Structure 1
Amino acid sequence: MSGSLNKVLLIGNLGRDPELKATPSGQSVARFSVATTETWKNQAGEKQSKTEWHNIVVWGKQAEIAEKYLRKGKQVMIEGRIQYREYTDQAGVKKTACDIRCDNFVMLGRMEDGGTRDSGGYGGRASGGGSQDFEDHGAPSPAGGGGGSFPDDDIPF
């Protein structure tokens, strides 16, 4: 296969509300964080977990949608690509940051979990690329509202 692929798919919870800004040219950009948590049992049978924080960057009309509908703590699926950027901190030290450039996001969970159609309702979708519309497709939530996690007994391997 010739070529390469830079693709990221995350399902996690927002760590903060999106912060919407505009570039000098008037382009909208929103930034927020998403936490993903991995859980497992160690050799002693004790439950362990590790949370990773991801910096998300959304551009254009989709940034405006994110600022309007996404809220801290809510579950979201992010589809995008990894981008690195260099900057100089206040002490003059050159640093590198890793961002996820969001091409598409889907709001997960139920509207009863704190949102309404007018105030950040969930179960909607915002798509990037050529189509920058917002459609409500009422995505069902997992049975029992488990947030996508499964009890260890239900895993077939």
Structure 2
Amino acid sequence: MKDHITIVGNVGADPEFRRLPDGTPVVALRVASTERRYDAKAGAWVDGHTSWYRVSVFRALGEHVAASVRRGQRVVVLGTLAIKRWEAGEKSGTDAEIDALAVGHDLAFGTTVFTGTSRLREEARPVEADAQWAPAGSVEDSADDRVDRPEPVATPF
């Protein structure tokens, strides 16, 4: 059984895109996650230890990461964690590797614009919908051709 992990950190270099021998797209990136804590004596926030993670992103998610994520951007990564030992001559070490299940920008540090793929729009479309319907905020949605949609209902707590 693999452990699930969620990390928040900065991308160390632009993602590297390649294809496996069977044609499967895969993107590799490194993410640095730095602990932040409040130092009461200094009266300020300080950086703690930085952990580096190797992240592998496969198939369509990998293609989307390659098109969307750049060096220095803050991201949230959810995936399965594997700790691997390595040796190269006299050197050895341990790597923390994440097989990503989800990757997104950390919106606490900026904004982003989502562009859905045509496959996602088709999956979101209800079977009984007519040809004019598109999910709110999708590429096909504009002020000129919006279809009547019910207003969201507030749920009292």
Amino acid at match of 1:79: L
**Deviation of residue 124 (structure 1)?**
3.7
Amino acid at match of 2:20: T
Asked if residue 53 in structure 1 is aligned to residue 48 in structure 2, the reply is no
Asked if structure 1 preserves the Cα contact closer than 8 Å seen for 2:9 and 2:31, the reply is: yes
Query: Cα–Cα, structure 1 residues 93 and 6, in superposed 2: closer, same or farther, change >3 Å?
Result: same
Counterpart of 1:32? 29
Does structure 1 retain, via aligned residues, the 8 Å contact 2:7–2:78?
A: yes
CA displacement at 1:96 relative to structure 2: 4.5
Give the alignment's TM-score, normalised by structure 2: 0.60
Pick closer, same or farther for the CA change 1:15–1:72 going to 2, 3 Å.
same
User: Cα distance, 1:108 vs. partner?
Assistant: 2.9
Are 2:107 and 1:104 equivalent residues in the alignment? Answer: no
Shift of 1:98: 2.1
Report the number of matched residues. Answer: 118
Aligned partner of 1:13 among 6, 10, 15: 10
Q: CA RMSD in A?
A: 3.2
16 and 64 in structure 1: CA distance in 2 versus 1, 3 angstrom threshold = same
Q: Does structure 2 retain, via aligned residues, the 8 Å contact 1:105–1:125?
A: no
- Aligned counterparts, 1:1-157, within 5 A: 6-42=3-39, 44-45=41-42, 47=44, 48-50=46-48, 51-85=50-84, 87-89=86-88, 91=89, 96-109=94-107, 110-111=110-111, 122-124=112-114, 133=120
Gaps of 5+ in 2: 125-135, 138-157
Change (3 A) 1:79 1:98: same
Bigger Rg, structure 1 or 2: 2
Give TM-score, length-normalised by structure 1: 0.60
User: In 1, distance between residues paired with 2:78 and 2:115?
Assistant: 12
Contact 2:2 2:81 in 1 (8 A): no
Distance across 2 between alignment mates of 1:133 and 1:86: 38
Distance (whole Å) between structure 2 residues aligned to residue 125 and residue 103 of structure 1 = 19
